[in-house]
Structure 1
Amino acid sequence: MRGDRLYYLPENSFDFTPLNVLRPGILLGEFKKNRFEPDYSLAASLKPHEAKLNISLSSKTNEADKYIEGYTLNFDLEDGWYLVDVDGYSLSWGKMSKGILKNYFPKALRW
């Protein structure tokens, strides 16, 4: 933990505690208002089958383009955080709320 951010470090890594390091490992996510919000770097490091909740899109559909452009998508799924992948490649997170998948793909990477 560094502040409200949770990082992953391999077991045999160097002890960063006494140093002021910008990113001491892979950022897993951040605690905001008593909830955990997963980070893009965690999504990028996972394979689709490693996430409990996953939405797989095909590059041949309009949905994948819309997601990469930053739009929300509609699905009839339970609420929660979903790892979104296209053709088996993890993209980012989406937060499902009342049938709407809110897009958490980084704005700098959108088309």
Structure 2
Amino acid sequence: MRDAMTAAGLPLDCRPHGLRKTLGRLLADAGATAHEIMAALGHMTLAEAEHYSREADRRRGGKRAILKLEDHKANRSPRPDFVSEGSDPSAKRQHHPALPQLYLSWTASCG
């Protein structure tokens, strides 16, 4: 694992569980369903995977609420309910691009 983390340019204090959580968050933010997250992360129950989708829904809902308030203050007509995650790169946490692939290669090596 150390060699893979060094090759990916990740700090050595990363832990497999942290990589797994990051992948769950990235999948949810990308719009993956709880069932898809469950399959990708190997969760045994749907409730484990729904944690990620609930958090992503909450973040998207918060962004929509702030945009509605800004529109109201500026006396603009409301924006559509869907706000693309990619529309404001500063609003989401930046992850190292190698994290999903590193996690998948690690899980494959664990059998």
Q: Which has the higher helix share?
A: 2
Larger radius of gyration: 2
TM-score interval w.r.t. the shorter chain?
under 0.3
Q: Structure 1 length normalisation: TM-score?
A: 0.24
Q: Which has the higher contact order (CA 8 A, sep 6+)?
A: 2
Q: Which has the higher strand share?
A: 1
